[in-house]
Amino acid sequence: MSSTSESLLDVVPVVPVVVIDDLAHAVPVARALVEGGLPVIELTLRTPVALDAIRAIADEVPDILVGAGTIVTPGQAKQAHDAGARFLVSPGATPALMDAMLSTGLPFLPGTATVSEVLTVLEAGLTEMKFFPAEASGGAGFLRSIASPVPAARFCPTGGITLASAPSYLALPNVGCVGGSWLTPADALATGDWERVRSLAAEAAALR
C-alpha cells in the first residue's frame, strides 16, 4: 500500500475506523488488521493519544496505510500530517477544513450528508468523499437515490454500518468502500484480543 495516488476508496472494501485510548494498543491493532487482510487504518483524533498512535503506527507498521479521522479543526489537518498520517478524513466539509486538508498535500475525504454538501465538495474539485453519518442520514437508499442525478460523486459511507449492512452499500455504483468501527471493539482492545481483531478484519476483507 505504498501508493497514495491510488484512490482511497479502492484500497479495501472496509476501512477500519479506530479509537485508541491506550497508546500501547496502536501497533498491535494495526498489525492485526494487516494480518487479517485490511492494510488500512483510520485512526480517529478523539483521544489524547491519537496523534502519538498515528506516529507509532507510521514508524512501526510500514505495511499499513495509516490515516487520521475525525479531523474537525483546520489545525488538526497539519498535526495529523506531521504525525505521519497518509490520508485525512473529516466528518464535515467546511471551507476552512477543506482548505486545511488540501494544503497538507495528502489525499482526504471530506464528510457530506446532503446533496448540497456533495455539490459543494464537487465544486471544490473533489469527487471522492465520506457520507456521514450514513445510517442516520438515509443509508444506502440515499446514495442509491443520488447516483443518477449526481454521478460524479463517489463515497465511503460511515456511521452505523455493520458487517450485515455493508454489502448493501458496497453493491452501489457510487460506493467504493465503507468505514466502520465494528472491526476493533473496545473490549477486544482492552483485553488484547488481537486474534478477534484479525478475524473481524478477515471477515470484512472478504466482502469483496
Q: Are strands 178-180 and 111-112 parallel, antiparallel or unpaired?
A: unpaired
Minimal distance, residue 148 CB to ligand 3PG, in Å: 26
Q: What is the 3-state secondary structure (H, E, C) of 78-138?
A: HHHHHHCCCCEECCCCCHHHHHHHHHCCCCEECEECCHHHHHHHHHCCCCEEEECCCHHHC
CB of 50 vs ligand 3PG, minimal distance in Å: 12
- Residue 69 or 139: the one with the smaller Cβ distance to ligand 3PG is 69
How far is the C-alpha of 4 from the C-alpha of 13, rounded, in Å? 16
Residues marked active site are found at 42, 130
- For residue 112, the cross-strand partners are 131
Residue with Cβ nearer ligand 3PG (92 or 160) = 160
Q: How far is the CB of 174 from ligand 3PG (least distance, A)?
A: 18
- CB closer to ligand 3PG, 60 vs 162: 162
Summarize as ranges the residues that interact with ligand 3PG (CB under 6 A). 17, 44, 69-70, 132, 158-161, 179-181
